[in-house]
Amino acid sequence: MQHADKILQHSRDLEQEVALVKGLDAGEVSVAMGPYACEALGLRCALAFSRSRPSHRIRISHADPGAALRMLRDRNIDLLVVESSIVKDDEVVEVGALAPLSGRVLVREGHPLLRLAKPELPDILEYPFLQVMTLPARVLQQLLPYRPRDKSGNGLPFPFMVCPTLRIALGVLTESDAFTFGHPSMSGDLVSSGRIVPLDFTAPWLHLRWGVFRLRNREIPPAVHAAVDALRDAHTELLSQEVQ
């Protein structure tokens, strides 16, 4: 069955290449993104791509990074945008390294942590943690040693809640003393309105390190190149906001 699927997908790839040779500039580009990348880059990428390739459809899906990686291996998508450190596969190559974005700890307005002049990680982990899908191992390694414990070895569930999207995590956050990670741009007007506040806490392991990936031996049509450019443009826009 897997062999048949590969033959079918190869046939689709050939059809797309023939269409390009004939000048039929139409079709679809499919991109899967992890939850944070989708929140930050999805809309910007879609707008940039639609301007550069109006005859193409772009399909953007939001998925757990591990599931998205399987989608790429199975040839169900053209491009993958996820945390770079999780991709360890010889069949997958990076076609667009994206500069790190500054991740922050996000809390609601009036949160007790905001009373601290300089909160540290042990202070932060005294509060419930809202995790969005899965975290990279490099981040978990920083958090696990500081989980609060009582004398019996128990403590808050860690994470306190696992959310499918950042929007759900932010909705819970605004009504509780929980915290989550993210980039301020992902919270819409919640940061600009003051309802959500980035803590005065930064660390290199909090940086968002994404890459754009494809299968090594798969032909890259011009429209897929255009999608890579749209992702880079979207990311550059985010970086410029950090500088401002």
Distance between CA 196 and CA 109 in Å, rounded? 5
Distance between CA 162 and CA 115 in Å, rounded? 27
pLDDT tens sequence for the chain (244 residues): 444 445 445 545 555 554 444 334 558 899 999 999 999 999 999 999 999 999 999 999 988 888 888 899 888 999 999 998 888 877 888 887 789 999 999 999 999 999 999 999 999 999 999 999 888 899 999 998 888 765 555 667 888 999 999 999 999 999 999 999 998 888 878 988 999 999 999 999 999 999 999 998 888 888 999 999 999 999 998 888 775 5
The two tokens of residue 155 are 């403590």
If asked whether residues 39 and 118 sit together in one domain, one would say: no
If asked whether residues 212 and 96 sit together in one domain, one would say: yes
Distance between CA 155 and CA 144 in Å, rounded? 12
If asked whether residues 87 and 121 sit together in one domain, one would say: no
If asked whether residues 108 and 195 sit together in one domain, one would say: yes
Say if pTM beats, i.e. exceeds, 0.75: yes
Query: Domain span at residue 145?
Result: 104-206
The pLDDT of residue 21: 43
DSSP string, 9-20: HHHHHHHHHHHH
If asked whether residues 144 and 215 sit together in one domain, one would say: no
How far CA 181 is from CA of 37, 113, 162, 173, in Å, comes to 13, 15, 12, 11
If asked whether residues 168 and 200 sit together in one domain, one would say: yes
CATH of the domain at 12: 3.40.190.10
The pLDDT of residue 243: 54
If asked whether residues 199 and 218 sit together in one domain, one would say: no
Q: How many residues does the chain have?
A: 244
Distance between CA 15 and CA 142 in Å, rounded? 48
Q: How many domains does one find in the chain?
A: 2
If asked whether residues 55 and 40 sit together in one domain, one would say: yes
How far CA 185 is from CA of 10, 25, 28, 47, 234, in Å, comes to 39, 34, 28, 17, 12
If asked whether residues 167 and 92 sit together in one domain, one would say: no
If asked whether residues 201 and 213 sit together in one domain, one would say: no
The pLDDT of residue 17: 53
Secondary structure class of 102 (helix, strand, coil): coil
- Counting beta carbons within 10 angstroms of the beta carbon of residue 39, is it exposed (0 to 12), middle (13 to 18) or buried (19 or more)? buried
If asked whether residues 62 and 146 sit together in one domain, one would say: no
If asked whether residues 8 and 94 sit together in one domain, one would say: yes
